[in-house]
Structure 1
Amino acid sequence: MTQVGEGQEADEVAPAMTTPGAPTLGEILAERYELAEHINNDGAGRQVWRGVDVILRRPVAVVLRYPGGDPAMEMLQAAVAASRVIHPNLVGVYDAIDEGERAYVVREWVDGDSLREMVVDGPLDPARSTSIAHAIAGAVAAVHATGMLHGNVHPGTVLAGDDGRIVLADARADSADTPETDVRAIGGILYFALTGHWPHAEAPLANGSQPTGRPPLPDAVRDASGAIAAPRQVRAGVPAYLDDLTMDLLDGKLALPSSDVLAAELGRLDAAVEEEYLDVAGPLRFTSAPDGLGDQPRATRRKITAGIAGLLAIAAAGLFFGISALADSGDPTDAGTDTPATIATPGTSSDGGGETSPARNPEKITLEAGQVRVVDPDGTRTELDGVAAVVDGDANTGWDTESYDGRGDFGGLKRGMGILIDLRQPREVTSVQVVLSTPGASAELLAGPGDPGSSAAGDNQIIDTYSTRIGEPFAKHDGTTMTFSAFQPDQQHQYLLVWITELPGSGNGKFKIGVQEITVEAR
């Protein structure tokens, strides 16, 4: 039973048991927590005990170090921060106490094994590995949503309870940690579960020794140049999509998704792990090729942003458009006549003659850079550049807002920001699809009478006059693709505004969004 994390090591070894403040078996701390069994020591100068809360009569884990005071400050601060995050895949923190001679954190006791113990008899199967990574990504996303970091995602901090829960314990971030280090560590968890090897270096203690009571984790299998071998090269039976996902997360040259995007993708894979299509359609919602995988090099596949969810949305929209086209072509009951209706198709006419009638099916409008601009009525107008990338046909590129502190409503500084689309002539629009960089944004689509010009006054006039809302707004949308298709038949629009009212969190208390691509279809 490993009840404490081992990812980050401090520069000191655990103090000797004769040091003042050393705990003893049966001792009751704070007149409440009885020490029942010494479990282990870790490399951060701490001991882990199984204890009992004598008031509530429940088992607890007591993580204790001595002396207290300044040397224990990081541990106590991390515990206080972790206690504010409630999530089913995070270990609950109950108490944090500094007595001077010693300090201790009291948290949930988990009956079960750590991930490092689970793979002693061999690596886990792909389904179990995916499920564990999904749980840990969800826990990390919950931590990041508060603006905090975990900093200690490691096989020793991932605990599998006998009740089936997977929980993450022992947050211990320092100044070197970032949201990306947490996300990359989730890739390490996947790699370890699939192979039994840890792809990240384990730091020794300052004296060069390993932490007390445990050997280092086995290093990843590497080639002569030091490059990590992919899971499929280490063992058989790892699906291609899971192999790609793992190596993407470990590749320092690739941009990482945010923790919430990764959690959503792992949730999709976890729920559909038995589906055969994953082996073909793979790998990630945020790294799927638009034209199928084909024979593209693996590195190329990783960099292309679209996804299975997006394709499904497009398919659903296509069904809607097809129904609309049939309805527009005529219905004998609507005409009030017994004459059968004829559907116009390319190469035929609705009156039975040989002349070709224009098709009523929606078609994509090719937008140019001069047809889009940023609307920023409340800002300093420093975020106007780069918007042409939203209509360049490449979802890898896009326009980004700046990062805002503290709140998703642009830090309380703005009513919102948007992108104005000028179709150059009135069109019968059927859909507007917006691809975003991450889930969690709120946005709506508005229509208005014109473009008064790119200025603060002009942008304020747009906000005052664009009163036609197309369909319902998206509130904290759980995907990266928003499709607005509730256009009135036969109604034409030239000017449309994608108006963003709330930004998703990007870690460290920051909020921002990227608009990757905008697609307009019309008849």
Structure 2
Amino acid sequence: MSGKPTQYTAAHRNHTGNGADLTVPASAPPPPDWSDLAELSPGTLLADNRYRLIEQVGYDASCQAQLWRAKDTALGRDVALTVLVGYRTDGQMVTKARRVLERCMHAASFHCVGVARVLDVLSSSHGVDHPEHVLGVVVAEWTHGSRLGELLRDGPLPADNAARLLQTLAAAVETAHHVGLVLGVDHPERIRVTAQGELRFAFPGSRAEATTTEDVRGLGAVLYFLLTGRWPLRQGQETLPAAPLAADGSVLPPRALRPTVPHELSNVAVKALAGPESVINTGNIRTAAALLPVLERAADAGSPTQNLMRETPARGNTDSLWRTQDIPKDKASKRKLRIGVAVLAAATLIVVAWIGFQLVSFFSGDGGSGARPQFDVGAPSSNSAGQQETESEPELGSGPVEVTGATEWQPAGQQLDSPDRAAHVLDGDPATEWRTAEYNAPFDADNALKPGVGLILSLDQVTQLTSVTIDSPSAGGRVEVRALPSASPGSPEDGELIGVADLTDGATEVAFDEASQPTQHVLLWVTGIVPLDNGRHQTTIREVAVEGLLPQ
């Protein structure tokens, strides 16, 4: 697909970019269309032939950015490219592109579950060979899954599912704002749904003038879309249906479109969408932290069974599961099932007949010669040995597991301690560290402020863990290691306790029972903090390494 935006008409009215809730006149000029300016196509090579374009998956008209899936020919992996296009003779365009690239360079050290990691930032002014009209390229991890719009092909989600999906992305926005970064989550093409059913900001490289307020409005827009199937912001309406407006120009609340949406969730979506200059709403949501408790309450309102169910009012079917991959047509699926059953039945009959023939031949012998089949019980033949080797499963052995991100976590309502330091436990530098805040009392005291502080480690794949090694100077500290079912637990008890580390001064290894469940998210739940010279208590972690069962 080209990702090329359509022309805006009166039907595409919505919020203005400055945050005020106003109606855009029908005569307003459309935004500039640079979607095909660079004349890029699948197979094009960028950055001195390192990245080969595979598929254009979107276009962000607000900053003239084409969004591509590409292949890193040097490392043989898929990557996400944000390609900034424009005229190199236009000083204003070049300046904006430079500011976008500078922002991305600052974000390169940011690691969070809900954000694709920036791998490289390429500018044409630094000797990189780009095609004409390409002003720069942001390279990020490729997020496997589907586009945001594909999630709602069968209709809006139940309220608890929508809230649960948004939690990871909202936590990522809050963490980024804590360290002074603006993500730019206000365009739907930049957000993807992972194979694990989580929302992820997949294409870094937001507008040069983007602010934290627009990130919060973007969260409100995503929530509005999940609840209604309509997109309430101007940027993004070239690919998704626009939200309807009230007579005063404000967006209709989700509850007005779907009465089953809880009042609190509908209200918070509208308040997050209303910018700081809006006079239509009061008590507007200004931070992602203010949004998270509401999302948690809405997510907890659904039962475990309802968590997997999606609402499909058009079909009246409440038993279908929502998925992030294509769903085959019913008739084709049934036909394939019938063929598969028939083939399996025929194969079974052939095997049974062959076994019967062999048994009869063995016990009754050949009537003409009286010879019986001879079996060599010695070494297997080369053919049988080769077949056994082919059919055997790959041997597994313990080895280092790649940890793609570390994020500080607290139960809802608890203040984070050092979220900007969480990535230090993965940087390979013992001189950098993550630490809890200093507390007047240990976590197990009667007057403790909280029961613990957590770090969530995200692995590159679901893995059977064998050990975790924690390098810490806090001898006497205590850390519980828990395998989480998702990156957004409601409490530490949501994860399976697979080990406990009683820290020493240096590296402490915690080995796990092989019966522990495979996981992609690990919680290091600090339950023991040690006394400091000033009479307070704190625990510090310098580095963390994870090992698991991997194919050898």
Task: Give the TM-score of the pair, scaled to structure 2.
Answer: 0.44
Task: Give the TM-score of the pair, scaled to structure 1.
Answer: 0.46
